[in-house]
Amino acid sequence: MRPFCAARARLSCRRRQGPLATTVAAVPRGHHHHLGVFGGHAASASLIPRRRQPGNVSVPFRCGASKIDEPQNKNKKKQQQQNKKGGGKANEEAVTPRSEDFGKWYLDVLKFAELADYGPVRGTMVIRPYGYAIWEQVQSWLDTEFKRTGHKNCYFPQLIPYSFIEKESSHVEGFSPELALVTQGGGKELEEPLVMRPTSETIVNHMFSQWVKSYRDLPLLVNQWANVTRWEMRTRPFVRTLEFLWQEGHTAHATAEEAEAETVQMVRMYEEFAVKMAAMPVVTGRKSRIESFAGADCTYTIEAMMGDKRALQAGTSHNLGQNFAKAFDIRYLDQDGELKHVYQTSWGVSTRMVGGVIMGHGDDKGLRLPPNLAPHQVVILPIGKKDTVDAVNACANEVYEALHSRGVRCVVDDSTGKSPGWKFNYWEMKGVPLRIEIGARDLETKSCVLARRDRPGKEGKTFGVAVEAESLAALVKETLRDIQDGMLADATRFRDDNIVDVTSYEELKSAVEEGKWARGRWAGSDAQEEQVKDETGATLRCFPFDQPGGSGACFMTGKEAKEVAIFAKSY
C-alpha cells in the first residue's frame, strides 16, 4: 500500500512527520453493525439561518453524467438563454425516475439536493452543509434522549492497539477483514500496529476496567459521537462508506437483567426516533445468531423498507453479556464483598439514517423530508416585480418573524436572478415540506399561498391564507403535523403491502424474486439460513418483537417453530 504523509493523517499538527503506511484487507459482505434510522426535539432556533440563497447553483436538467446535460426540447435555444440567467424551470427529467434506475436516482438526489459528494479517496464521501444539517437534527433528538435516560457524552481515541482487538476472539474474527491498520509513524515502524477505530468496544472496555471497582460505580452509562473506519469494498454514500459518522453508546451493569433492559430500552428509543422523526415505520426485532454483532450474546435491530423494497438496518443495540468484561477483566466488588464481572451493552445509529430517509421518502422530484427532521420546515418565497420587490420582501420578512418566533424552522429565499419556477423546483429538490408564496396580488389582500411538498400541483396548495401572525403560525404547524402523519401513513402502507406471509421455501423464493419481504415461521439451522442467502440473496433481517403467538411449521424444515422471521434483500 502506498504510504501517505503522517501530517495529513493528523498524527502531528506541528511539523511534517515521516511516511505513515496503512495496511488494509478486503471486506466480505456480512457484518455491518451499529449502522445506521429519526417528534419533538428541534435544533436551537438561534442556529437556523434566516436566509438561504441558492447563489450560482447549476439548474439540474439531467443527472447521472459527469456534466449536466442540456435539455432536449423544441425550444432548446430559448431554454438555454433562460438557464443562463437563472430563469429556466428545471426539466421534469432532472432526476432519473426511481422506477427506471433506483441506484442512479439516489445518486442524482444526493447531487442536486446538495447532500453529499465523493471524497478524493475511494469509498469516502464529503457531507455537504445541507446533508450535515439533517444529521444535526438526528443528533439533537437522540442526544436529548440519551441525557434524559442518564447517559453522559465522552470521547475515546481513534487509534486502538491491535492487541485490544485480539482480546475478544469473536470480535477480532468478525472485524479483521474490515480493519485499517497504521503500521508506521514518525518515519519509523511501530512496535504494534494501531487500528483506525471500526467500533470502540475494545478501547472502551480497557478504560472501564480502570474505572469500575465497586457496585457504587454501576451502572456506567456513556455515549460518544465520533467517526469510524471500515474498509468496505462496495460503497454507497451515506449507506456504506469507508468512514462514517455515528454515535455509539457503551454501558456496564451489575446484573444480566439490567443489561438486557438497557439493550431493549435503546432499540426502542431508536424505534421511537424512526417513527416520530423520520416517519419511518421500522420493524423492530432480534437478529439471528449469525447476523448478530461480533462479540454480542444478542443483537436487536430496527429494519426499514426503502423505496426499492430492500431492507436497511437503521440502528442496532447489542447485549454483550460478559464477553468483553471477561476479556478485559472488568470486575466490581458487590455489596457482599464478592468480585464479579459486569454485564455490558453497546448500541449505535449512524449517518446511514440520512440515506434511509432519502431512499425511504424521496420521489422523482427529489428529496422529501418529514417536517420533524427537516432543517428548514418552511421556505418563504417573495415573488415581486421591480415596483413591488421591496414591499413583497418586507411582507416575507414579517412572515419569517411570525413563524420563527413560534418555533418553526424557516428560511426566506429572496435571491435575485432566479425565476419563481426555478426556485419552486430548487426547494422541491431539497425536500422542504412546505412553501409559502407571497406575490404582489397577495399584498392587496394581506394573504399568501401555502404549497405542500407531499402533494403536487393545485391539490397541495391553499390560497388566500391570511398573513396575520397567530393564525398563520397555527395553520402552518397544523399543516406540518398533517404532512408528518401522512408521510408515516404512506410509508407504513407501502411496507405492509410489500410483506408477504410464506409457508414454504418456494413461496419465499417467489416473494424475494418479486422484491418483497418474506415473513414466515423459522426454526432452521445456521447452515440453512446461509442456504437461503446463497440461493435467493435474502438474509434473515430479524425475529420481530411483534409475534403472532402460538406455533406452526417452519417453512424450510417443517419442524415446529414458535417464532416468525423476516427475510429480505438488503443494503
Tell me the DSSP string of 300-319.
EEEEEE-TTS-EEEEEEEEE
**Global pTM value:** 0.84
Residues of the chain where predicted confidence (pLDDT) is lower than 70: 1-93, 168-176
Distances (CA, A) of 110 to 16, 103, 237, 357: 36, 11, 8, 12
CATH topology for the 86-157+197-367 domain: BirA Bifunctional Protein; domain 2 (3.30.930)
Q: How far apart are alpha carbons 362 and 369 in whole angstroms?
A: 8
pLDDT of residue 379: 99
Encoded amino acid at 53, one letter: Q
Encoded amino acid at 495, one letter: R
H/E stretch holding 160: strand 159-161
- CATH for 498-568 is 3.30.110.30
Cell numbers representing residue 346 in the block: 453497546
Distances (CA, A) of 297 to 28, 275, 303, 454: 22, 27, 19, 43
Residues constituting the chain: 571
pLDDT of residue 68: 26
pLDDT of residue 396: 97
pLDDT of residue 186: 93
pLDDT of residue 233: 82
Q: How far is CA 280 from the centre of its chain?
A: 11
Q: Are 437 and 464 in contact (CB under 8 A)?
A: no
Q: Looking up cell 426503502, which residue turns up?
A: 306
Domain map of the chain by residue range?
1-30+159-195, 86-157+197-367, 378-482, 498-568
Q: Are 351 and 482 in contact (CB under 8 A)?
A: no
Q: What's the CATH superfamily of 378-482? A: Anticodon-binding domain (3.40.50.800)
Q: How far apart are alpha carbons 271 and 287 in whole angstroms?
A: 15
Encoded amino acid at 202, one letter: T
Q: How far apart are alpha carbons 52 and 50 in whole angstroms?
A: 7
Q: How far apart are alpha carbons 503 and 322 in whole angstroms?
A: 38
pLDDT of residue 175: 59
pLDDT of residue 490: 98
Q: Which long-range contacts (CB under 8 A, 24 or more apart) does 447-455 make?
A: 448/399, 448/472, 450/475, 450/476, 450/479, 451/424, 452/479, 452/483, 453/368, 453/369, 453/428, 453/483, 454/368, 454/483, 454/486, 454/487
Q: Find the DSSP H helices in 85-128.
A: 102-112
